[in-house]
Amino acid sequence: MPNPALIPTFIRELVVERTLPREPEPDLVMADPEQVAAYVEAGRIDGVMAAAYLFHSAQASQVIQRCKSVLDLGCGPATQLAQIAELNPDVHFTGVDLSSTMLADANKHILKLGLTNVQFRQGDITTLEVVDDQSVDAVISTVALHHLPTLQHLENTFKAVRRVLKPGGALYLTDFGRLKSLKSVIFFAYMNARFQPHLFSLDYERSLRAAFLKEEFADLTRRLLPGDASLVATFKVPFLVIIKTADKPLPASLRERLKTMRQALKPRYRRDLDDLRRFFRLGGLRHDPFA
């Protein structure tokens, strides 16, 4: 059992007995130009989300080693997808999203970076009708599942994932976990408010309110996903949940590149990254690619 003294006071204060009801986001598709612009502006790779992007890029890269085709569910403007694709140039990625506005930004971003191993399809991740059965080596999704309106939609998505994944395929699915108090939601949503547009902070709050419970993710993982998929969450307060299959060793060159990218982060973002590493390690996540 990790020493409670290692957990910051604010985390201990957020652990309460009651659980907030889920408040689904009003729109499944983010299409409002002002909302999309704020999301994209604050969410690009050198912004306030830099630590989270690098963390998930590194973790996902461990899972998809030796894969040839990877499907990204709810890829949005492809900021996260583009970083993973840059780190894994021999892998072909397909991003799926319902929002044509998001996909337009995603295409612009990929073209700007000169990436040739990424394509996009507009489609519903709860059915994945644009993807053939057992046709992809891996499925990833980074902080998109809370946009689904109901638990049934999440269940349908997991069934679709199982359908399109090749036998023995890889998984890296991560999203917010529903927090237990309004105090915790407000803390996490607005902790970086002075560094980002207000619409981005507001969207973050809505996303936290819309998140599914860790226990709901665990139940669906057990019932619907391949048997080697496991769930891990941040210690004590599951504000992030990861569902993944086994890691594979990273090439030495990629591991060194990730360490260099960590060191290049602004000090504040590097601390954020190390906090993520710490809370997931305490939560049971193994194989830290930055170690």
Query: What CATH number has the domain bearing residue 133?
Result: 3.40.50.150
Asked if residue 62 belongs to a domain, the reply is yes
- Top-confidence residue, 9 or 132: 132
Q: How much of the chain exceeds pLDDT 90, in percent? A: 70
- The pLDDT of residue 180: 75
Q: How far apart are CA 185 and CA 207, in angstroms?
A: 10
- The pLDDT of residue 192: 72
- The pLDDT of residue 83: 98
Mean pLDDT of 135-148: 97
How many independent structural domains does the chain possess? 1
Q: How far apart are CA 42 and CA 2, in angstroms?
A: 34
Query: pLDDT tens digits for 68-103?
Result: 999 999 999 999 999 999 999 999 999 999 999 999
Tell me which of 51-55, 136-140, 194-198 is least confident: 194-198
- The pLDDT of residue 24: 76
Relative orientation angle of helices 267-283 and 252-264, to the nearest 10 degrees: 130
- The pLDDT of residue 7: 41
Relative orientation angle of helices 151-164 and 214-224, to the nearest 10 degrees: 40
Q: Please report, for residues 18, 91, 138, the alpha-carbon distance to residue 192 in angstroms, rounded to integers and kept in the order given.
A: 26, 34, 33
Asked if residue 279 belongs to a domain, the reply is yes
- The pLDDT of residue 235: 94
Residue 15 has pLDDT above 50, yes or no: no
Asked if residue 260 belongs to a domain, the reply is yes
Asked if residue 290 belongs to a domain, the reply is no
Phi-psi domain of 78 (left: phi exceeds 0; alpha: psi -120 through 50; beta: other)? left
- Top-confidence residue, 268 or 136: 136
Q: Are 158 and 128 in contact (CB under 8 A)?
A: no
Asked if residue 291 belongs to a domain, the reply is no
Is the C-alpha dihedral spanning 185, 52, 65, 278 positive or negative?
negative
The model scores a pTM over 0.95: no
Asked if residue 175 belongs to a domain, the reply is yes
Asked if residue 128 belongs to a domain, the reply is yes
Asked if residue 289 belongs to a domain, the reply is no
Domain that holds residue 54: 4-283
- The pLDDT of residue 4: 35
